[in-house]
Structure 1
Amino acid sequence: MSRRMNSSLVARVLPPHKEAEMWSPLRRLRTVLPWSVGLVLCCASVVAAQGTGTVRGTVTDAVSKRPVDGVSVFVTGTDLGTLTNSLGQFQLNLPAGQVELRVRRVGYGTTSRKVTVTAGEVAQADFEVSQVAIGLDAVVVTGVGGSAERRKVPNTVATINTDNLRNAPVVNVSEQLAAREPGVTLLPSGGLAGEGARIRIRGAASLSQPNEPVVYVDGVRVDRSGGWGDFVGTGGGGNPSRIDDINPEAVERIEVLKGAAAATLYGTEASAGVIQIFTRTGSRGAPRFDFTTEQGVSNFPNGRYEPNYGFARDASDPLRSYTRLNSFYGLSLQPYQVFSRPFVTSLFETGYTSNYSGSVSGGTAAVTYYVNGRFQHENGPWGAEQLGPARDFDQKAQGSASLQLFPADNVKIRVNTEYVDAHHETPSNNNNIFGTISVALFGHPERAECFAGSLPTGTGNCTVNGNPNGPIGPGNPYGSAAFATERENMQERLRQDAKHFTGSINVAYQPWQALSVEGTLGVDVVNQVSSDFAPFGYNVDQTIGFDPEGYKFLDDRTRREITAEFKATWNRRLGDDFASTFVGGGQGFIAKLEDAAGSGELFPGPGLEVIGAGALQTSYERFLETVNVGVFGQEQLGYKDYVFVTLGGRYDKNSAFGRTSQGVFYPKAGISFVPTSMPNWGNSGITSRFSTLRIRLAVGQSGLQPGAFDKLTTYSPLASVLGPGLAPNNLGNPDLKPEITTEWEAGTEIGVLHDRAALDFTYWKRVTRDALYPRQFAPSGGFRNVQLSNVGRIDSHGLEINVTGLPVNRPSFSVKVFANAAYLHEIVTSLGGAPPLKVGGSYPRYRNFVKEGYAPNSLFGAKLVQPCSQRPAGATYACLAPGQNPYDLNGDGNFDTDADMLAWLAVPRTLSSMLPIRVDENGNGDFLDHYLGKSTPDWAGSFGMSATLFRNFELSNVFEYKTGNYTITNLTFAFRNSNAVIGRNSRRAATVEATITNPASTAQQRVDAAKEWLKLRALTPYDGLNQNENGKFLRWRELSLTYHVPGAVASRRLGLRHISFTVSVRNLALWTGYTGIDPELNEYGRGGAGSDLGGIDNNFGEGIDAFGLALPRRITFSTRFGF
């Protein structure tokens, strides 16, 4: 009966030839839920009729004697099991007879005991578990087809248990991932509220396609994009991540597959790694309510922002004269005296955050449930709201629910839903002339005035003059020299509203002990509406020239993805020594993206805020649909529980493959050897020193498909005076196929001192062949755009090291420490004869390139002529003899000596006339092709500790670092040091310019200033010069202190199961030699270079510090309690 009903259920959920119905999750749930209820009612009598008994118990920590929640308690060799609740309690209804119960939890050793179950009676079975630094008995699911103990899996599967992060200063899934696992790197772009981070696992697996890992939630693929859609942009920062829509309070654990060797069974699109998020489920027992309240404040680190510098002039320059500035600021300046004002930090404020979360869970033998609701609110530390309506704001209302039904002992049905309603606002930012922070960084204090064309009297700054909210009428309160004023840019409002639904149903059926089948059907739907609006007359200071009559850009993006999977697992013994596990099944995805947008510019008057009111209107629409179907199989053969051999593969077909490209097969193989499970291991000699030892080796393939239309020849509509027409767009390539990534990894896990200390070591090597890369074909064919081709190759290898220890483990005092490190080396081996590509296209300031023979994000640019002592032997390019400088100021065709410079600088000069001499080392006439470093570090990792003090206090912290050949592009100071109009306002640059132009300076002072200018000159035609710095850093990422009220006090006096209080800090401190704003800043945020996550900019636009906001320090106070 159960089998027929399962088949019927699948048929109802996936009706043939009704694709339109598949896009409605609510309609599908209306179908599923009645059947689920029917299953419960029909099978209730069957459950009651069986001869069953009950096993109850409590799991406690062997040292502290505290209850341990989230422990898996199960019958050995079966799928019968449950989880302990927050009191460490569990209850199982089992068939009568003798069973072996086993308990396991990440971070604890596994233990078991035999229990006799008597029909109609209750048996008691309590367990004590001990903390360990290594656990090979932990079960993983991702990448193994079903579920398997870690000891049997030949590749790396990282597990992040969020129970260990319960008191950590994290507010989203990105922060749950950050600084946890070697090889998993989060790349934030800045410190605006709600800003997401890009994710990289073991560097870059592709040149042109997305390097973001695929993300699953409870077996369903979800939207992993970010940003604002195709038609709205912020300048690069403030981009939300759709992954952060996931409710972090509902996440139970996260599993990460780090590469193709582990992700083979996920097939095409998995070569960049896989992240699988498992949400919480209920357990049997009375309803349990848990609540969390959190209040916090945040602020930007003021010390990272150098004030705006300038210098006074004499009476010949009335605006910048020392007399006006003395009157304006109340100072006592002299001509050419350098002074500063804190324009940027004056726009900061103390941000405020609040989070409220509540959940209820419980259940019976027939059904368990878990429901959670969360409200998150953040008003970030970017202020300036007195200047205009733009805000730094993020708000989410999140809800999730999980329902597990047990209509029979061998049937489990799980229904999961998650929904978020998000609202996000950000000011225009980063490398953007409409960014308020950008214009503030460019401000010149000597140019500041309250009213255009007037020289106000009195002291103070421009925000006074009788109006505490800002200047009256047009003005320039922050000394903007070009583009716009801060007040004008703050009139622009960037807003986004998103609704995100994820739903799934999973049915597991075990007809007999050796065979189990499982099916999952799910949908992920995102509707995201973004807008960029400036009102009529927003040029309040009469400076900005772009559409002063106002504008509105609107982008409506909808993405739907359906996931369907079916698999069967067959377990069997092959004699006394061998055990076989075979997994086979199929998986399919249908992803549909629709992006419709439009704009209206030049409103006829105030009060109009709709696109249709603009005199100049445009429209845009994009539609993509991709289908991927694959079948997979895997055989794992175990010998005496200490040798496990795995063979498997997956065959995929994808709608993006070219017409001549057939499906692709991805194989995998691996072996895991656990010597410590061998008989007589450890009886004598060196073997007795190892409590756990495992050696593993794995190899596998995965792929990445081209874009949906890359294989097709396409044309673009063309409007002309002669009427509508078509223009060539994409050349097309019917031979396009997925790029193939082959990876192998070898590693070992070692536990010593009874597993109180552990080492996990992995070496991996990866080759991506047939890498998709954009090539330019002959324009004479009519197609001028680049075309993707399978011509590239990337070679990479690395190390991952993780050390964990429990040096102290006592009831009143325990300490756990960890440290990890990941080494990365990657090189572009071939581009198939295609030329290099540069991040940012024709914009010359970004110097990140994809170039053969170098790391895929290497930096190239200008260099000055260096002393001959630094020129390699045999080289013939120009160099400096002793006493020479890289100048030819007098124009005699020779490098200047100090005497030449003294003579030329005997009178005041301008910096614009002082051009240093560049070198051309290879003699090809290109002065900008010199290697300057790379923007990814050799080493990255984290370390920290957690401790229990006086039984009831918990202290934990995490440090994160990056180091080794790590170069940051400090474009912020390249502009502030060098640009003649919107720069030269750093302390060093203002001092140099004041010295060079001051008639009172001596010639020697000017010569010294000219030599300092060699260290500051940047930008065209010196792109890359003086803008790159060592970016290594150490950041105190997390610190938290928690007090747990003793259980007796909580229960007897307060009537609560538990209550705790936590104070925590995120981004507490930064140690770095980097002189820019923040070494973790980046111009390109998540999805900021394209909503599809791929492309050269999104993949390799890293390490570009361009007028952003530093990561803020966030201090939070939280209370957790339950009853």
Structure 2
Amino acid sequence: MRLFGPIATDCGERFRLAHHFAFSRPLAAACARLALFAGLFGASLTAAPRAEARAAGVTISGRVTDAATGTPVSQVRVLVAGTQNGTLTAENGRYTLRVTTTGSVTLDVNRIGYEAQKLTVTVGATPVVADVQIKQAAFSLAAVVTTVTGQQRKVELANATAQINVAEKLAELPVSNMGSLLSGRTSSVQVVQTGATGTGSRIRIRGQNSFSLSNDPIVVIDGVRATSTTSNGLGVGGSGPSRLDDINPSEIETIEIVKGPSAATLYGTEAANGVVVITTKRGKSGKTNYSLNVENGKIENTAVYPDLWQLWGRTAASPTRAVPCLLTAVSLGTCTSVDSLSRGNILNDPRLSPISDGNRQQYNLQASGGNDKVQFFVSGQTEAETGIYKLPDNEIARLKTRRGVTELPSDIVRPNALARNSFRANVNAELRKGLFVQASSGYVNSELRLPQNEDNGNGLMVLALGGPWRGDLVDAQGDSLRGYRAFMLGDVLSQTTKQGLNRFINSVSAQWSPTTWLATRAAIGSDFTSRNDLFIAKVGEGPNTGTTRQGNITSLRSEINQQTADYGATGTFQLTDWLKSTTSIGMQYIRNAVGSTVGTGIGLPPGGVTVSSAATRSSTQSINERRTLGYYVEQQIALRDRLFITGGMRRDAASAFGANTRSVYYPKLGASWLISDETFLPLPEFVNSLRLRGTYGASGQIPGATDAVRFYSPGPLTTASGDAPAASLGSLGNANLKPEFSAETEFGFDLAMFSGATNLEVTSYNKSTNDALIQRQIAPSLSGLTTQFVNIGNIKNQGVEFTWNQRIVDAQVAALSFTFTGSTNKNRMTKLGEGVNPIASGNRNTQQNRPGYPLFGLWDKTISFADKNGDGIITFNANKALSELTFSDTAVYLGNTFPTREIAFSPALELFGKKLKISGQVDSKWGFRKFNNTLRHQCMNGVTCRGRYDKSASLQEQANALATSQAVYTGMFENGSFTRFRELSMAYEMPTKWANAVRASRWSVVLTGRNLGVITDYTGVDPEAAQSNNDARGNEEYFSTPPLRIMTLRMNFSF
């Protein structure tokens, strides 16, 4: 109580904010109720009978071992069934607990990663010895998973769960970040990875729930909410880093995916998009064990880039010198004496191409150990990755000569690179009987360089692919462009963009069982990130445009602080020998604060690298803070340990709600029925278990910190006598603003057959988001502003998902198995407020969001064409009767921008006594169209695309290309379906004597490859190349970096 009383008090004090925050009164009242709850509940704990703990009794002791290997298993929780009387096993697998009853006693034996076991013993007057063997739980219903209320068996949950045993699999997988770790591991989790080093992935679980808010899942690390957003900092034109990738996969024990509102209810507001629950590694008692991992790899861009085309002829304006001629000019006779058709690409010329092989190195050292009372785990890792972009040698020579130097900074020569260091220390301790404390501390330091690229007029790939492929053009300084678009590559890459980061994720949690029926838990922690983004173009450097060569600098310093306080209690009551009741209550407090300061300078002196040294300076500052307080209650009834009925409710209040929205309630109700244990249902002998499950649950999405608040923005007012302080209306606010409310129903079954060799999970879900936030257009005459956030939209997602795990052969000398996952998703906007027009989005408004159709769907006019004069060339005329190219009068729906169906197949083969393991993954995604915006750019202005210059191009290709000149992009929407050979791994465990020769107990060598090949009809660079991490442009290729092939050699040592 000494811990939580101050939290409740501080909560109430902190919510009494300035009078213009209308949310202060309801949240202050909520905090008062929290203080009352904590006091009453804390008092009940203090007054809890202690005689039971001190009473004499009989000891039950034994040893828990792995059923497959016979080795002892530590950190196994052994409980007397129906109570909270339990203990943890030591390093040698031993446990001892005392019971005060006699007769038949059932023990529950649980550990994450293993099947839960039940063991019945008879207790008399003498000590009892009960040894237990537990099996690793790859796909068992008895597996133990982590929930808001604590650890539970999978069979007790009414929703589908997905668990990745990272510690077990990581050493054999081609994983360099969290995106590659999650990709293809479980159904309905869609991961779209960008190619540039240091850029993040977009993760979507069961579709997109919101048009205006983020569709990212939330992340919980060791019970504490962690920042996982994609953050560009200073934009470079495309994708930015993801804070999820700051997390070191080598530090993780398990990841559990909570897929939707039906399962995420107790996580509260913000959990509608799903939850990624990460548990980091813990120490084990016994001697200190060390592990060392060394990895080196090569990064390659295997994409084939299309040629750039031009047709050459003479015109009236150029009768003696050949100039580029469009096909339409040839057809109209304004271009004559066509003499040649040129094609090529500087990316295919090693002397000019900015693409080269990259590399990565990673070194990781970990140690764990302890005794029966205290265990520790420590980890340190350093990694360095250099991307594929490189300044060509001839540009290096030009810049050296121009600047009179002998070396160029690495920032310019290799503009895309990442250096990252991560450290972690975790400690577990049993302070007294039934009281366990865990402390977790992680630190990440990184520096990232990103080039100007993608949707950037002066970006690297725009220079290479966005202009004419010709050698007769020069830039403003008189230098030959050598085929680049407008500026020399060295000048563009002289603009450097960096992001430095320091991040601390710390938490302390405690579990206490003051009585045999009651277990309490508490966690407090924070995720603090300090980020420094810097853009600089030194004086006399950079492209000759605007003020760039005068010397430009922008410094953005940001601090992101997310704090969590979590408290809960669970009471377990064995009401009869066939009926058990489990009641859980709890509260959670989340504070999210973001502050940033931007300084900009123009006119740097020679050598100047700070904002203060610039001739013209400006700065801005912003601070946003959002707080959420929630309570929950959950009740589960277990009948004969085969039918589990669960109901619950969470109530949230938040500072981001409108003044008239005091709080929101999220209910849940579900059932899990192990029907194969019922005697009335005869099943074939090969069926081991059959579980039916169904659940309803709700969660939400919280508005932005100031969306509901009417506020004024300060700024100078220029008057005749000079600048004066002033303020203008910055936001209308909305007192009725509510969170988006997502409700989901889920039904499914889990089937195990053939002694556990076959495991099948099938789930159907139907999810509806009501009160979706939309920026409604308003008349500017009302306030000077043009938009206001209102709750006027509804969005629906429904689909089916499955996971099939099959063990084909499992012998001592060899084993063969596979995992096959798949899912469908149908996304629709079902409502958009009365009188509200469809909302355009995407580049060049190629998307529309309207009821009855998917979010971010592609819309445009249809194209019709006919070669009326038979000259093999399609032309356009504003007079439809004369035109060979015509369009529909209105835009029509043309396709989804995100895959509606996907599958992944992951086989594994073990040979030579399971010393050699070969595993891989192939995945397919289809049912969507992709906007080839690179091709649109090349065609629209008649720059370089084949359809505008080559008469042998099909009439369809010509029509598609010519339509872009009339701002019709239908022909640029291509079938994006693909099948990719995602990964391959070969791991070999060296002979023990070889390991001993290097003073190791184990030594394995792993060769891995990722993104090894793709099959697709898409004609662009790659069907997964994405312009950014967001939803509106996340499936658009616009001079984007494709997924890169990564080959690595890894050695793992244990000491």
TM bucket (normalised to shorter chain) is 0.7 to 0.9
Q: Which amino acid aligns with 1:160?
A: I
Alpha-carbon deviations, 1:662-692, whole Å to 9, x = none? 21111110011101233586xxx54434211
Q: Give how far 1:705 is off.
A: 2.0
Q: Give how far 1:614 is off.
A: 2.5
Q: Give how far 1:105 is off.
A: 6.5
1:487 aligns to what SS in structure 2? helix
- Identify the residue that residue 218 of structure 1 maps to in structure 2: 222
TM-score (norm 1): 0.81
1:446 aligns to what SS in structure 2? coil
Summarize the Cα distance change of 1:1121–1:52 in structure 2 as closer, same or farther, 3 Å threshold: farther
- Identify the residue that residue 699 of structure 1 maps to in structure 2: 696
1:749 aligns to what SS in structure 2? strand
Instruction: Confirm or deny: 8 A CA contact 1:813 1:947 kept in the other structure.
Output: yes
- Identify the residue that residue 513 of structure 2 maps to in structure 1: 510
- Identify the residue that residue 1013 of structure 2 maps to in structure 1: 1069
Question: What is the CA–CA distance in structure 1 between the aligned matches of 2:90 and 2:910, rounded to whole Å?
Answer: 22
- Identify the residue that residue 1107 of structure 1 maps to in structure 2: 1039
- Identify the residue that residue 550 of structure 1 maps to in structure 2: 551
Question: What is the CA–CA distance in structure 2 between the aligned matches of 1:744 and 1:1016, rounded to whole Å?
Answer: 45
Q: Which amino acid aligns with 2:852?
A: G
1:252 maps onto 2:231 in alignment: no
Question: What is the CA–CA distance in structure 2 between the aligned matches of 1:358 and 1:317, rounded to whole Å?
Answer: 71
Segments of structure 2 that go 5 or more residues without pairing to the other structure are 15-52, 326-337, 396-411
1:368 maps onto 2:360 in alignment: no
1:444 maps onto 2:468 in alignment: yes
Question: What is the CA–CA distance in structure 1 between the aligned matches of 2:973 and 2:779, rounded to whole Å?
Answer: 36
Alpha-carbon deviations, 1:1039-1086, whole Å to 9, x = none? 10001124x43665554221111000111111111111111122123x
2:863 aligns to what SS in structure 1? coil
Q: Which amino acid aligns with 2:838?
A: P
1:1019 maps onto 2:951 in alignment: no
Summarize the Cα distance change of 1:368–1:1068 in structure 2 as closer, same or farther, 3 Å threshold: same
1:357 corresponds, among 351, 359, 364, to 364
Map 1:623-638; keep pairs closer than 5 Å: 623-638=623-638
Map 1:423-822; keep pairs closer than 5 Å: 423-447=447-471, 474-482=478-486, 484-539=487-542, 542=544, 544-603=545-604, 605-679=605-679, 686-722=683-719, 723-724=723-724, 725-822=726-823
- Identify the residue that residue 209 of structure 2 maps to in structure 1: 205
Q: Which amino acid aligns with 1:612?
A: S
Question: What is the CA–CA distance in structure 2 between the aligned matches of 1:132 and 1:181, rounded to whole Å?
Answer: 16
Map 1:199-348; keep pairs closer than 5 Å: 199-229=203-233, 232-237=234-239, 239-303=240-304, 305-310=305-310, 335-343=339-347, 346-348=353-355
Question: What is the CA–CA distance in structure 2 between the aligned matches of 1:271 and 1:288, rounded to whole Å?
Answer: 40
2:278 aligns to what SS in structure 1? strand
Question: What is the CA–CA distance in structure 1 between the aligned matches of 2:392 and 2:108, rounded to whole Å?
Answer: 59
Q: Which amino acid aligns with 2:1009?
A: V
Map 1:133-212; keep pairs closer than 5 Å: 134-143=139-148, 145-162=149-166, 163-188=168-193, 190-212=194-216
Question: What is the CA–CA distance in structure 1 between the aligned matches of 2:808 and 2:1032, rounded to whole Å?
Answer: 41
More divergent stretch after superposition (167-176 vs 338-347): 338-347
- Identify the residue that residue 912 of structure 2 maps to in structure 1: 950
Instruction: Confirm or deny: 8 A CA contact 1:216 1:275 kept in the other structure.
Output: yes
2:662 aligns to what SS in structure 1? coil
Instruction: Confirm or deny: 8 A CA contact 1:343 1:443 kept in the other structure.
Output: no
- Identify the residue that residue 1049 of structure 2 maps to in structure 1: 1117
Q: Which amino acid aligns with 1:692?
A: S
Question: What is the CA–CA distance in structure 1 between the aligned matches of 2:990 and 2:126, rounded to whole Å?
Answer: 38
Instruction: Confirm or deny: 8 A CA contact 2:517 2:572 kept in the other structure.
Output: yes
Instruction: Confirm or deny: 8 A CA contact 1:693 1:748 kept in the other structure.
Output: yes
Q: Which amino acid aligns with 1:747?
A: G
Q: Give how far 1:1015 is off.
A: 3.1
- Identify the residue that residue 466 of structure 1 maps to in structure 2: none
- Identify the residue that residue 427 of structure 2 maps to in structure 1: 403
Question: What is the CA–CA distance in structure 1 between the aligned matches of 2:998 and 2:109, rounded to whole Å?
Answer: 31
Q: Give how far 1:864 is off.
A: 2.1
Summarize the Cα distance change of 1:268–1:896 in structure 2 as closer, same or farther, 3 Å threshold: closer
- Identify the residue that residue 30 of structure 1 maps to in structure 2: none
Question: What is the CA–CA distance in structure 1 between the aligned matches of 2:876 and 2:285, rounded to whole Å?
Answer: 84
1:1034 corresponds, among 966, 974, 979, to 979
Map 1:845-864; keep pairs closer than 5 Å: 846-864=845-863
Q: Give how far 1:409 is off.
A: 2.1
- Identify the residue that residue 922 of structure 2 maps to in structure 1: 959
Summarize the Cα distance change of 1:176–1:891 in structure 2 as closer, same or farther, 3 Å threshold: closer
Question: What is the CA–CA distance in structure 2 between the aligned matches of 1:92 and 1:437, rounded to whole Å?
Answer: 63
Alpha-carbon deviations, 1:617-660, whole Å to 9, x = none? 22111111111001100000010011110010001110111111
1:1026 aligns to what SS in structure 2? helix
Map 1:33-112; keep pairs closer than 5 Å: 55-56=62-63, 58-61=65-68, 65=69, 72=76, 74-75=78-79, 77=81, 80=86, 82=88, 90-95=93-98
1:1115 aligns to what SS in structure 2? strand
- Identify the residue that residue 917 of structure 1 maps to in structure 2: 886
TM-score (norm 2): 0.86
More divergent stretch after superposition (67-76 vs 521-530): 67-76
2:347 aligns to what SS in structure 1? coil
Instruction: Confirm or deny: 8 A CA contact 1:860 1:1024 kept in the other structure.
Output: no
Instruction: Confirm or deny: 8 A CA contact 1:319 1:447 kept in the other structure.
Output: no
Instruction: Confirm or deny: 8 A CA contact 2:987 2:1007 kept in the other structure.
Output: yes
Question: What is the CA–CA distance in structure 1 between the aligned matches of 2:1004 and 2:689, rounded to whole Å?
Answer: 35
Q: Give how far 1:987 is off.
A: 4.8
Question: What is the CA–CA distance in structure 2 between the aligned matches of 1:318 and 1:18, rounded to whole Å?
Answer: 80
1:336 aligns to what SS in structure 2? strand
What root-mean-square deviation, in Å, do the aligned CA atoms of Structure 1 and Structure 2 show?
3.4
Q: Which amino acid aligns with 1:1064?
A: T
Q: Which has more strand, going by share of residues?
A: 2
Instruction: Confirm or deny: 8 A CA contact 1:319 1:446 kept in the other structure.
Output: no
Segments of structure 1 that go 5 or more residues without pairing to the other structure are 1-6, 21-45, 323-333, 454-472, 868-879, 898-915, 921-926, 993-1004, 1086-1097
1:1017 aligns to what SS in structure 2? helix
Question: What is the CA–CA distance in structure 1 between the aligned matches of 2:873 and 2:950, rounded to whole Å?
Answer: 21
1:508 aligns to what SS in structure 2? strand
Question: What is the CA–CA distance in structure 2 between the aligned matches of 1:743 and 1:364, rounded to whole Å?
Answer: 45
Instruction: Confirm or deny: 8 A CA contact 1:390 1:426 kept in the other structure.
Output: no
Instruction: Confirm or deny: 8 A CA contact 2:936 2:969 kept in the other structure.
Output: no
2:966 aligns to what SS in structure 1? coil
Summarize the Cα distance change of 1:893–1:172 in structure 2 as closer, same or farther, 3 Å threshold: closer
Instruction: Confirm or deny: 8 A CA contact 1:307 1:344 kept in the other structure.
Output: no
- Identify the residue that residue 402 of structure 2 maps to in structure 1: none
1:1079 aligns to what SS in structure 2? coil
Q: Give how far 1:606 is off.
A: 2.4
Instruction: Confirm or deny: 8 A CA contact 2:74 2:93 kept in the other structure.
Output: no
Q: Give how far 1:777 is off.
A: 1.5
Question: What is the CA–CA distance in structure 1 between the aligned matches of 2:994 and 2:108, rounded to whole Å?
Answer: 31
2:939 aligns to what SS in structure 1? helix
Q: Which amino acid aligns with 1:647?
A: G
Q: Give how far 1:956 is off.
A: 0.7
Q: How many residues align?
A: 971
